[in-house]
Structure 1
Amino acid sequence: MAEQNSYENIIPGAIYQHYKGKPYRVIGVGKHSESLEDVVLYEALYENPLGRLWCRPASMWSEIVQVDGQKMPRFKFLFK
């Protein structure tokens, strides 16, 4: 049986909304240079004084979080 990648449904170029409401564009999916963990490189589509480009483990990107008792995706696909 083939191993399922945690980034299988992450679409480069697509716009996603973080559960806190801000929009992001996925640049691509890659590998951490030391651990070889799958990571997502993404761009903030709003003015962020901390930086424009961000990286997060693909497993975190794709996870379901609980907010105020409701389960929702950490990043929700909006459009491509």
Structure 2
Amino acid sequence: MPAELRTRSSPEHTVYLLRVWYESGDAVPVWRASLHSSDGTPRRYFAVPGRLLDYLGHVLDPNAADGPPPAS
């Protein structure tokens, strides 16, 4: 990861790198995504768009009390 991404993380600012691609399934392409945060948390992978949106909604919610929802 470039140095400028590693150093730009703070409680008010986090940089996310989102990758979205399709994998060949049986007959239908399958949606996939990965999300990498500049704050050093492990990269998360998603197989369902709604799970990615749920995760982002949770990490961006200042009132969220629990840890983030699981990926996948």
By percentage of residues, which structure has more strand? 1
TM beyond 0.5: no
By percentage of residues, which structure has more helix? 2
Largest Rg, 1 or 2? 2
Scaled by the length of structure 2, the TM-score of the pair is 0.36
Q: Comparing both chains, which one has the higher relative contact order based on Cα–Cα distances under 8 Å and sequence gaps of 6 or more?
A: 1
